[in-house]
Chain A
Amino acid sequence: MSIDLPVDLGMPSAGPGATGTAGVPRLPDGSALAKKDFTSDQEVRWCPGCGDYAILAAVQGFLPELGLKRENIVFVSGIGCSSRFPYYLDTYGMHSIHGRAPAIATGLAATREDLSVWVVTGDGDALSIGGNHLIHALRRNVNLKILLFNNEIYGLTKGQYSPTSHVGQVTKSSPLGSLDRPFNPVSLALGAEASFVARTMDSDRQHLTSVLRAAAEHRGSALVEIYQNCPIFNDGVFDVLKDRTEAAARILHLADGAEVAAGDDVVVRDDRGSLAVVARAEADPARIVRHDVTAENPSAAFALSRLDSPDLGHVPMGVFRNVQRPTYDDSLREQIASARTGEVTDADIDALLAGRDTWTVGA
């Protein structure tokens, strides 16, 4: 993978060049945490074979490399199977209510520059009941890392179709097939002008970790869609992407500056300005798309996200977009800092209470 950005946490706390964890206290030089330090004493209670185990292991394995103090990391989740995640991490955590984690995390991130704030959510939590909060967190560009576990089904409520289930999917609540057209989470996030959008998969530890690393590095909202298998209600939905031969032909690797290609296929610009997957042998070399992850205009990233097909014929994987723009929480802190004239004293509050028009009544 080419996503191998250096994790440099000594950057300024805001403004161009700041990293996602700038301002978060780091461990002293020479000391480090290990995976076990991020493992809580709680028994993990997902179903056997659930993709969440792999994601949990990857996250626990990844967090030590951030070099941050453990107490300055917070995981906030909503409701759903994935949202049990915080209980299993020995950090600060909040298991909140359905769909609202991005809003709660926004209040936390806005008031605490010194925290690395992560949101764990699922396709129902983030895209159905919480769709509004998700798009607004992304448009504001709050410094949050949002891990969206997508298994295309409702697991915790036992098997209803979700906003990412495909049309015609037979579930408990759609015995004749789902009528809903699914969201493409990546397209949705890009439409909300998210500054960082990526896709990865539960079973590919290395890729998952590299995407987490890039997300942590990014200052602003990072949406990471993680294809995740539900062995009970939607088993095997991503199996073709887990078979080595099939994956090679289907996964369009997104690497900055590289051609977007899978197996013998390559992505080209077509005559109508959108993208198409064609056999490399037939591709006009001038039209082959090289991925530009930092393109200001999200149109190219959006076009890549539209290469998805319901049969997983081709699936772009990796970082779709990674651009810098001011974050909501940094800007809010800047407004306050520039309005401040020093410590607020009792006399300042007295003057505030008095306002401009006072009169005095003598004793």
Chain B
Amino acid sequence: MSTKLVQKLDRVVIRFAGDSGDGMQLTGDRFTSQTALLGNDLSTLPNFPAEIRAPQGTLPGVSSFQLHFADHNVLTPGDAPDVLVAMNPAALKANLRDLPRGATVIVNTDEFTKRSLAKVGYATNPLEDGTLESYDVHPVALTSIAVEALAAFTDLTRKEKERAKNMFALGLLSWLYTRPMEGTEAFLKAKFADKPQILEANLTALRAGYNYGETTEDFAVAYEVAPATMPAGTYRNVTGNVALSLGLVAAAHRAHLPLFLGSYPITPASDILHTLAGLKRYGVATMQAEDEIAGVGAALGASFGGALGVTTTSGPGLALKAETIGLAVSLELPLVVCDIQRGGPSTGLPTKTEQADLLQALFGRNGESPVAVVAPATPADCFDTAVEAVRIATTYRTPVIVLSDGYLANGSEPWRLPRTAELPDLTVEFATEPNAVDDKGAPTFHPYLRDPETLARPWAIPGTPGLEHRVGGIEKADVTGNISYDPDNHDHMTRLRQAKIDGIADTIAPLTVDDPTGDADVLVLGWGSTFGPIAAAVRLARATGARVAQAHLRHLNPFPPNTGEVLRSYSRVIVPEMNLGQLALLLRAKYLVDVESHTSVRGLPFQAGELADVIVSAATSVSDAPLKEAAK
């Protein structure tokens, strides 16, 4: 038991920062897991460079992992860290400007050598020149203490011992915030099962870090954050990409369809391929295709055969898949396309987040080729959104694009586990019988004879006798599906395809508004991953007395049927987006409402504080002339 003081906190934001090779993502991930098991609510933000190993010790090579945990419901990874763990001068320099005064800084002094300082342009040592005088600095020789702790491991090289410094840091932080380490110990045992020496070294470093906190006089107080009050249930911590993968598997199970993923690796979507590739036991087939086009093509081929065809990608890949998605629009077959958005255009910012593919998802194809578009709001919501995407795709026989993004993909939060049996029943009925008679009165099959409710055409899969038919990208005659160049037929079919997508609105929940006082004048409307920051900002704004309503769109095409009504019920509507106003453009065009766009494309999620300022200023000037567009 600790002999030191233990102080209670209600929330903490920690940022682990180091070189790309320092293991910061793993450290953050383990700390998160320990925190989840303790029952805190949490939200994470991994942030790393696109290079696997950027030049050592440089600013571009800094990798960080931020975790916000609390004894209450949290919505974002936090605007500013209360604690920064900086493994080298680059990590300190890259992150210092985000730190509020008074924040705790734990630095690895071993790395503050003349050479490392010079590499990032420090003329003098910031640990000594007063740079950090407004902070609570804990200089710890993390590397050398870790190496010292491993003195008995004579078979390990110094380099190998140095590598354990992240576990030392994790141990220290585990002590500082009273986190149980059993989970990490079990994790290490599984990870290094074949390397007993390395395992022992890591465990020793981890415990040494914990004991260091316990004994050193530098840390006088340890902290506790009590479990959050959360709805009853069983929880796990989950990232968006894992939740999305699981959602696809669960939905395929509920649809009684085999899941087939055709995919080409691309950041930040690849983890979905990795996750699903490991689920063969559940009948999941994955194919790493030769390119993005083949990935979606194979998925569409699988759908033609009666499987649930899925492809996963990010923005540049969505561009390459456009023609095949157009074919799927024409074939009217189910297809789920997951676009894990990243900064663009072109290669853009592969490891950073953005939500600038909205218009590409809606319109990035030739001709009139409407598809359904849905977007998850949080990492755990990726599960429900995947299920919804599968529902729409199979019910309406249409491609559905899921717009997640890098923030949701890698970020994590506690997820209250659903019960599989209580998920929507997605059972699909394939066509098995002829549905018409020909000129001679013989039974025949019309592949484009639609369901009057959904306007979906029959899904008749090869192997079904008597329903042999041909589909293709050339315009189809209504009902018979024969090739048709008839002008009236093309006009009719174009409108039918649009009407089918529009009709999805009949089966989606109305847009709900969170307006606790019931008299707000300002509505903040978002979509996708901005949910957390917007909700946190609205919470901050309300705390200042501002009357603000919030609503969030999961369905981007079609919109919920009451969207126009909601927009028109508020005198001002603010639409924050991590693009230059794509949803705002759609809302203005469709509903003729002069929404106000607030945008940021920095590759990072919105900060709640900054958004709150925008909201408060809108709420307080509601009777004045409308604000100028807040976009920078």
The interface of chain A, by Cβ under 8 A from chain B, is: 25, 40, 42, 69-74, 76, 79, 86-87, 90-97, 100, 103-112, 114-115, 132-133, 136, 332, 335-336, 339-341, 344, 346-350, 352-355, 357-363
Q: A71-B466, A92-B468, A111-B307 are in contact. Are A133 and B232 (CB under 8 A)?
A: no
9 extra interchain contacts, Cβ-Cβ under 8 A, other than A72-B462, A103-B298? A91-B468, A93-B469, A96-B297, A97-B326, A103-B297, A107-B300, A107-B302, A108-B301, A133-B293
Q: A94-B470, A349-B249, A357-B33 are in contact. Are A115 and B297 (CB under 8 A)?
A: no
Q: Which residue of A lies closest to B326 (CB)?
A: A97
Shortest Cβ gap from A89 to chain B (Å) = 8
Q: Which residue of A lies closest to B282 (CB)?
A: A344
CB pair B483 A87 closer than 8 Å: yes
Is B402 an interface residue, CB under 8 A from the partner?
no
Shortest Cβ gap from B76 to chain A (Å) = 21
Q: Which residue of B lies closest to A42 (CB)?
A: B482
CB pair A97 B470 closer than 8 Å: no
Q: A93-B471, A136-B294, A357-B236 are in contact. Are A112 and B419 (CB under 8 A)?
A: no
Shortest Cβ gap from B294 to chain A (Å) = 4
For B324, what are the chain A residues with a Cβ–Cβ distance below 8 Å?
A: 97, 100
CB pair B232 A363 closer than 8 Å: yes
Is B437 an interface residue, CB under 8 A from the partner?
no
Q: How far, in whole Å, are A109 and B463 apart by their CA atoms in the complex?
A: 13
Is B518 an interface residue, CB under 8 A from the partner?
no
CB pair A107 B231 closer than 8 Å: no
Q: How far, in whole Å, are A110 and B323 apart by their CA atoms in the complex?
A: 22
For B232, what are the chain A residues with a Cβ–Cβ distance below 8 Å?
A: 361-363
Chain B CB within 10 A, most for which of A72, A111, A339: A111
Q: How far, in whole Å, are A168 and B137 apart by their CA atoms in the complex?
A: 76
CB pair B468 A106 closer than 8 Å: no
CB pair B483 A105 closer than 8 Å: no
Q: A76-B301, A350-B419 are in contact. Are A133 and B473 (CB under 8 A)?
A: no
Q: Which residue of B lies closest to A343 (CB)?
A: B283
Q: Which of B456-476 contact A (CB under 8 A)?
A: 462-474
Q: Which of B280-296 contact A (CB under 8 A)?
A: 280-285, 287, 289-291, 293-294
What are some 28 contacts across the A-B interface (CB < 8 A)?
A42-B482, A70-B468, A71-B462, A72-B462, A86-B472, A92-B469, A94-B304, A94-B331, A95-B471, A95-B473, A103-B297, A104-B304, A106-B298, A107-B287, A107-B298, A108-B462, A111-B305, A336-B283, A339-B280, A340-B281, A346-B420, A350-B417, A350-B419, A353-B236, A353-B417, A357-B37, A357-B236, A358-B236
Shortest Cβ gap from A76 to chain B (Å) = 7
For B625, what are the chain A residues with a Cβ–Cβ distance below 8 Å?
A: none
Q: Which residue of B lies closest to A90 (CB)?
A: B468
Shortest Cβ gap from B250 to chain A (Å) = 5
Interface string of B220-252 (1 = CB under 8 A from A): 000000010011111111100000001001100
Q: Contact check: which of B262, B280, B323, B417 meets A358 at CB < 8 Å?
A: B417
CB pair B468 A359 closer than 8 Å: no
Shortest Cβ gap from A294 to chain B (Å) = 28
CB pair B291 A360 closer than 8 Å: no
Is B299 an interface residue, CB under 8 A from the partner?
yes
Q: Contact check: which of B36, B418, B472 meets A359 at CB < 8 Å?
A: B36
CB pair B39 A111 closer than 8 Å: no
Is B421 an interface residue, CB under 8 A from the partner?
yes
Q: Contact check: which of A90, A112, A346 meets B305 at CB < 8 Å?
A: A112
CB pair A104 B301 closer than 8 Å: yes
Q: How far, in whole Å, are A340 and B279 apart by their CA atoms in the complex?
A: 10
Q: How far, in whole Å, are A357 and B414 apart by their CA atoms in the complex?
A: 11
CB pair B301 A360 closer than 8 Å: no
CB pair A332 B250 closer than 8 Å: no
CB pair A71 B420 closer than 8 Å: no
Shortest Cβ gap from A352 to chain B (Å) = 7
Q: How far, in whole Å, are A355 and B239 apart by their CA atoms in the complex?
A: 12
Q: Contact check: which of A90, A100, A340, A352 meets B246 at CB < 8 Å?
A: A352
For B356, what are the chain A residues with a Cβ–Cβ distance below 8 Å?
A: none
Chain B CB within 10 A, most for which of A72, A103, A115: A103
Q: Contact check: which of A107, A112, A332, A348 meets B282 at CB < 8 Å?
A: A348
CB pair A357 B183 closer than 8 Å: yes
Shortest Cβ gap from A194 to chain B (Å) = 15
CB pair A111 B260 closer than 8 Å: yes
CB pair A361 B253 closer than 8 Å: no
For A73, what are the chain B residues with a Cβ–Cβ distance below 8 Å?
A: 462
CB pair B233 A360 closer than 8 Å: yes
For B383, what are the chain A residues with a Cβ–Cβ distance below 8 Å?
A: 353
For A362, what are the chain B residues with a Cβ–Cβ distance below 8 Å?
A: 232
Residue count of chain B within 8 Å CB distance of chain A: 73
Q: Contact check: which of A100, A336, A341, A350 meets B285 at CB < 8 Å?
A: A336
CB pair B470 A40 closer than 8 Å: yes
Shortest Cβ gap from B394 to chain A (Å) = 15
Q: Which residue of A lies closest to B253 (CB)?
A: A349
Shortest Cβ gap from B321 to chain A (Å) = 11
Q: Contact check: which of B234, B249, B250, B474 meets A360 at CB < 8 Å?
A: B234
Q: Which residue of A lies closest to B260 (CB)?
A: A111
Is B318 an interface residue, CB under 8 A from the partner?
no
For B246, what are the chain A residues with a Cβ–Cβ distance below 8 Å?
A: 352-353
Task: Give me the 3 closest cross-chain CB pairs, A-B, nearest first.
Answer: A95-B472, A107-B301, A107-B298
Q: How far, in whole Å, are A353 and B291 apart by their CA atoms in the complex?
A: 30
For B421, what are the chain A residues with a Cβ–Cβ distance below 8 Å?
A: 346
Q: How far, in whole Å, are A192 and B417 apart by their CA atoms in the complex?
A: 47
Interface string of B302-337 (1 = CB under 8 A from A): 111111010000000000000110110001000000
Q: How far, in whole Å, are A359 and B281 apart by their CA atoms in the complex?
A: 25
Q: How far, in whole Å, are A348 and B253 apart by their CA atoms in the complex?
A: 10
Q: Which of B36-55 contact A (CB under 8 A)?
A: 36-37, 39
Is B503 an interface residue, CB under 8 A from the partner?
no
Q: A132-B290, A357-B36, A359-B39 are in contact. Are A96 and B183 (CB under 8 A)?
A: no
Shortest Cβ gap from B474 to chain A (Å) = 6
CB pair A110 B471 closer than 8 Å: no
Q: How far, in whole Å, are A359 and B37 apart by their CA atoms in the complex?
A: 6
CB pair B282 A352 closer than 8 Å: yes
Shortest Cβ gap from A11 to chain B (Å) = 20
Q: How far, in whole Å, are A13 and B232 apart by their CA atoms in the complex?
A: 50
Chain B CB within 10 A, most for which of A25, A72, A92, A354: A92
Is B258 an interface residue, CB under 8 A from the partner?
yes
Q: Contact check: which of A25, A96, A114, A350 meets B327 at CB < 8 Å?
A: A96
Q: A87-B470, A359-B39, A361-B230 are in contact. Are A133 and B279 (CB under 8 A)?
A: no
Chain A CB within 10 A, most for which of B262, B298, B383, B417: B298
Q: Which residue of A lies closest to B421 (CB)?
A: A346
Q: Contact check: which of B234, B300, B463, B483 meets A104 at CB < 8 Å?
A: B300
Shortest Cβ gap from B490 to chain A (Å) = 17
CB pair B474 A95 closer than 8 Å: yes
For B235, what are the chain A residues with a Cβ–Cβ distance below 8 Å?
A: 358-361
Shortest Cβ gap from A82 to chain B (Å) = 14
For A352, what are the chain B residues with a Cβ–Cβ distance below 8 Å?
A: 246, 249, 279, 282
CB pair A87 B472 closer than 8 Å: yes
Q: How far, in whole Å, are A69 and B462 apart by their CA atoms in the complex?
A: 11
Q: How far, in whole Å, are A173 and B69 apart by their CA atoms in the complex?
A: 65
Q: Contact check: which of B236, B417, B462 meets A74 at CB < 8 Å?
A: B462
Q: How far, in whole Å, are A361 and B305 apart by their CA atoms in the complex?
A: 43
Q: How far, in whole Å, are A344 and B236 apart by their CA atoms in the complex?
A: 22
For A74, what are the chain B residues with a Cβ–Cβ distance below 8 Å?
A: 462
Q: A353-B246, A357-B237, A358-B417 are in contact. Are A110 and B468 (CB under 8 A)?
A: no
Q: Contact check: which of B33, B280, B282, B297 meets A349 at CB < 8 Å?
A: B282
Q: How far, in whole Å, are A79 and B297 apart by their CA atoms in the complex?
A: 14
For A71, what are the chain B residues with a Cβ–Cβ distance below 8 Å?
A: 462-468
CB pair A111 B302 closer than 8 Å: yes
For A79, what are the chain B residues with a Cβ–Cβ distance below 8 Å?
A: 473
Chain A CB within 10 A, most for which of B262, B297, B307: B297
Q: A111-B305, A361-B235 are in contact. Are A332 and B418 (CB under 8 A)?
A: no
